[in-house]
Structure 1
Amino acid sequence: MNVILAVSGGIAAYKTLPLTSALTKVGCDVQVVLTKHAREMVMPLPYETLTSRKVILDMFEPQAEDVLAHINLARWADVVVVAPATANIIAKMAHGIADDFLSTLLLAYGGPLLVAPAMNDQMYLHPATQANIETIAQRGAEILAPVEGQLACHTVGVGKMMEPEDILKAILATAMPKTMTGKRILVSAGPTQEQVDPVRYLTNHSSGKMGYAIAQAAKNAGADVILVSGPVHLDPPPGIKTIPIISTRDLEKAITEAFETCDALIMAAAPSDYRPAVYLDNKMKKGEEDLSLALTRNPDILSAVKEIKKPHQVLVGFAAESQNVEGYAQDKLKRKGLDMIIANDITAANAGFGHDVNTVTVIDRAGQVDHWPTMSKDRLAAQIIERVDKLLNEKKSL
């Protein structure tokens, strides 16, 4: 995916360095453009190091490799992102002014355009700025609305640029072909908690990041998505129906109720296999001796779903293992009646629970085994959704 990241002269320009890094990590080819005012905020070298591309600074650079870069880059780009977008550049876009490289490029460009305003709250709310934003939105620009927060001018108001991770999601959404339009995908994410007493519970290290990334990727592909989420420290994805749960039995109830109307279930959650046999109404007090806690088996959710699964539905599971990863995954694939399983070694460095990257082995019912390289969970989620879409299409053609 070819991305032009256009940085104009707002103090929020510093946030575009982590955005640039995130874009390259998910495999995007990024060309950064800095306006004259942006160069007062940030230096070109960090962007060039991250992208391996020379930053474009001026319309008439003496050493420019391409004298028609504003035209040729407009043809090259799959998406242009203006972040931060100052009141000045928004006004230029609204009125067709072309007096520097960026404004000229924007006139020559006709593809997906994302604009992330960032400025003082009074400047943002001024009728002229609001009219200009409305104008470019009517022409097709997607406005990544600023949020309320502490601004650089030491006031609190609306004008803070959307966070880089949310801008990244918006960029990736423009790239995904809408091949899942009309399909409903059910995704589970995160851990479960099994209460011991009013202050204690049993759980695991699942962060929910993989499941949330899969839900977002499915939405990006045009699907209607239902996300069933255990307790996590993640914001609910916008535009996705999210059902919060606590225990494994809560998860089973939510999944079995929703699955009937869905085309696929991607079970990325990490439910607890056991729960305390008895819940204590009052806090357990510390004694002098060792304590034994009696546990009872939780329901096997995938086995329950297997019994109600229809021929057209796709069932995908995960296997987080610390040894014999492929062997255990193959066994789980068969026992649970899965169409595909994603297995990962939780002992591998920089992968698995809590990390932003993962290294997985993907196995399907036909016996195909693919060892995917380490990649970001966002990129991995997009590839998983592509495989699920393929499986759905294969079933439809039978």
Structure 2
Amino acid sequence: MLTPQPRRVLIGIGGGIAAYKVCEVVSTLFKNGVEVRIILTNSAQKFITPLTLATLSRHPAYTDENFWQPIYSRPLHIELGEWAEVFAIAPLTANTLAKLAFGMADNLLTNTVLASTCPVLLAPAMNTDMWEQQVVQRNWQQLATNSRFHTLPTASGLLACDRVGAGRMAEPPEILAYIQSLLHTAGKRDLVGKRVLISAGGTREHFDPVRFIGNPSTGKMGLALAQAALHRGAKVTLVHGPANFDIPLGIEVIAVVSAKEMQEEMLGNLHSADVIIMSAAVADVKPREYAHEKLPKRSLPEALALEAVPDIITELAKRKQPHQTLIGFAAQTGDIVAPALEKLQRKNLDAIVANPVDQPDSGFGSDNNQAVFLDQQGRQVKIPPCSKLQLAHHLFDFVSG
């Protein structure tokens, strides 16, 4: 049996204070078994040393000194360009951005971009006034229309220059997620022009302002689906219940609490969606009565009267158009396939994801998952344990295949 080859990521670091964040990216990639090579510009070395990056990646970090020394069997920029599966540049400075926009190559970093064919992920960082300059935005938009370049928007906040505004580099988890996506898709944007509507997390059905019926869903699977769709070029709307996670820029977010609220938002956004994914763990029942003030402990009922909540995915299935694809989730214990297959047929879904919630490191709250995909054509595809982002990409592969 052949041993899988490690994935290969090349990281270019520009001159900016945000360079320190790249240490977390490099360290996490290495811990996950990814081979990492690093290029630093001369300006980058003012903020972070090659020794630091070499220690984290377990491989020498390259600078322009290496570029101009004939000590390699092949030109270094050619060797690195052919080696990389994904090339991430973070932080991307205004200077390097301008060079890439005009195809200039005057250092190791920019020469390697031209000598490579892999997808390039760009994570800019700069002062707000610099970022908002018309010429900088022109260069940014020019690269954004190039299918080879994948762009992470800047965030707003307190910058190192004490300015509050746009220009903050994307945080390491967002960069890492996009790198993982590109390793899966090789830069494919098969969802460009599509709108994807996703529900995520659990709902809460309150019987007073502080008590509710709920479930352990954290929304991580729905977030992963939203990230995967975004990275593949879709316009994404995420309707989520109470959750504690950061949602990447570029995703339209609608926060809800109850099943009724989620139903209203899902049905209200259905008409514009091409793909609808119900990954939320929606309540089946709710308390029949609601107290507008907190009930004293002594006043709590011995038996809580319940009533059914509307079945959101059934309503979506009734209203969906022929061009739309509706995908459900079935969180199960024990035999996961038979109940999911029954749900697929009974609710007239296009596909369903059966995932076990009684297996280690899978299901609610976990960063990983496993599943069986089923569709109306009789296909069944088993996905072994993997990250939830990988599972999300496998699902989009399945429904587009």
**TM-score of the superposed pair, with normalisation by structure 1:** 0.79
- The match for 1:367 is 378
Please give the alpha-carbon distance, in whole angstroms, between the structure 1 residues aligned to 2:50 and 2:387. Answer: 32
The Cα offsets for residues 201-246 of structure 1, whole Å up to 9 and x where unpaired, read as: 2222211121122123223333333322222223444333333322
Please give the alpha-carbon distance, in whole angstroms, between the structure 2 residues aligned to 1:118 and 1:328. Answer: 49
Partner of 2:342, secondary structure, is helix
What is the deviation of 1:305? 2.6
Please give the alpha-carbon distance, in whole angstroms, between the structure 1 residues aligned to 2:27 and 2:204. Answer: 35
With over 3 angstroms needed to count, the CA separation of the structure-2 counterparts of 1:192 and 1:327, relative to structure 1, is same
- The match for 1:18 is 24
- The match for 1:4 is 10
Please give the alpha-carbon distance, in whole angstroms, between the structure 2 residues aligned to 1:94 and 1:300. Answer: 50
In structure 1, runs of 5+ residues without a counterpart are 391-398
What is the deviation of 1:113? 4.4
What is the deviation of 1:41? 6.9
Alpha-carbon contact 2:67-2:108 (below 8 Å) kept: yes
With over 3 angstroms needed to count, the CA separation of the structure-2 counterparts of 1:21 and 1:191, relative to structure 1, is farther
User: Are residues 1:148 and 2:152 paired?
Assistant: no
Alpha-carbon contact 1:94-1:133 (below 8 Å) kept: no
Alpha-carbon contact 2:36-2:57 (below 8 Å) kept: no
Partner of 1:372, secondary structure, is strand
With over 3 angstroms needed to count, the CA separation of the structure-2 counterparts of 1:143 and 1:378, relative to structure 1, is closer
Alpha-carbon contact 1:94-1:135 (below 8 Å) kept: no
- The match for 1:165 is 173
What is the deviation of 1:175? 4.5
With over 3 angstroms needed to count, the CA separation of the structure-2 counterparts of 1:259 and 1:362, relative to structure 1, is same
User: Are residues 1:300 and 2:311 paired?
Assistant: yes
Alignment of 1:66-81 (within 5 A): 66-77=73-84, 79-81=86-88
Partner of 1:333, secondary structure, is helix
What value does the CA root-mean-square deviation take over the aligned residues? 3.7
Alpha-carbon contact 2:317-2:348 (below 8 Å) kept: yes
Partner of 2:298, secondary structure, is coil
Q: 1:252 aligns with which of 240, 263, 271?
A: 263
Alpha-carbon contact 2:153-2:249 (below 8 Å) kept: no
- The match for 1:213 is 224
What is the deviation of 1:163? 0.4
Give the letter aligned to residue 161 of structure 1.
M
Please give the alpha-carbon distance, in whole angstroms, between the structure 2 residues aligned to 1:41 and 1:160. Answer: 25
- The match for 1:46 is 56
Please give the alpha-carbon distance, in whole angstroms, between the structure 2 residues aligned to 1:337 and 1:97. Answer: 54
Alpha-carbon contact 2:94-2:136 (below 8 Å) kept: no
What is the deviation of 1:340? 1.7
What is the deviation of 1:178? 2.7
In structure 2, runs of 5+ residues without a counterpart are 1-6, 145-150
Please give the alpha-carbon distance, in whole angstroms, between the structure 2 residues aligned to 1:87 and 1:282. Answer: 55
What is the deviation of 1:19? 2.2
What is the deviation of 1:5? 0.8
Please give the alpha-carbon distance, in whole angstroms, between the structure 1 residues aligned to 2:136 and 2:320. Answer: 48
Partner of 1:227, secondary structure, is strand
User: Are residues 1:178 and 2:217 paired?
Assistant: no
Identity %: 37
What is the deviation of 1:343? 1.8
- The match for 1:314 is 325
What is the deviation of 1:25? 8.6
The Cα offsets for residues 335-358 of structure 1, whole Å up to 9 and x where unpaired, read as: 222222112222222222222221
- The match for 2:244 is 233
With over 3 angstroms needed to count, the CA separation of the structure-2 counterparts of 1:132 and 1:313, relative to structure 1, is closer
What is the deviation of 1:28? 7.1
- The match for 1:276 is 287
Equivalent residue pairs, number: 379
- The match for 1:82 is 89
Partner of 1:219, secondary structure, is helix
Give the letter aligned to residue 399 of structure 2.
V
Partner of 2:49, secondary structure, is helix
With over 3 angstroms needed to count, the CA separation of the structure-2 counterparts of 1:290 and 1:282, relative to structure 1, is closer
With over 3 angstroms needed to count, the CA separation of the structure-2 counterparts of 1:234 and 1:69, relative to structure 1, is same
Alpha-carbon contact 1:94-1:132 (below 8 Å) kept: no
Please give the alpha-carbon distance, in whole angstroms, between the structure 1 residues aligned to 2:34 and 2:380. Answer: 26
Please give the alpha-carbon distance, in whole angstroms, between the structure 1 residues aligned to 2:339 and 2:310. Answer: 20
- The match for 1:32 is 38
What is the deviation of 1:136? 4.8
- The match for 2:148 is none
Alpha-carbon contact 2:124-2:169 (below 8 Å) kept: yes
What is the deviation of 1:281? 1.9
With over 3 angstroms needed to count, the CA separation of the structure-2 counterparts of 1:109 and 1:62, relative to structure 1, is closer
Alpha-carbon contact 2:101-2:142 (below 8 Å) kept: no
- Is 376-385 or 142-151 further displaced after alignment? 142-151
Give the letter aligned to residue 278 of structure 2.
M
What is the deviation of 1:108? 4.5
With over 3 angstroms needed to count, the CA separation of the structure-2 counterparts of 1:25 and 1:182, relative to structure 1, is farther
Give the letter aligned to residue 101 of structure 1.
L
Please give the alpha-carbon distance, in whole angstroms, between the structure 2 residues aligned to 1:19 and 1:189. Answer: 26
Please give the alpha-carbon distance, in whole angstroms, between the structure 2 residues aligned to 1:24 and 1:380. Answer: 21
Partner of 2:280, secondary structure, is coil
The Cα offsets for residues 25-84 of structure 1, whole Å up to 9 and x where unpaired, read as: 999764332456232572413213xxxx664453256864x4312024335546532223
With over 3 angstroms needed to count, the CA separation of the structure-2 counterparts of 1:319 and 1:46, relative to structure 1, is same
What is the deviation of 1:284? 0.6
Give the letter aligned to residue 74 of structure 2.
V
With over 3 angstroms needed to count, the CA separation of the structure-2 counterparts of 1:355 and 1:247, relative to structure 1, is same
With over 3 angstroms needed to count, the CA separation of the structure-2 counterparts of 1:160 and 1:228, relative to structure 1, is closer
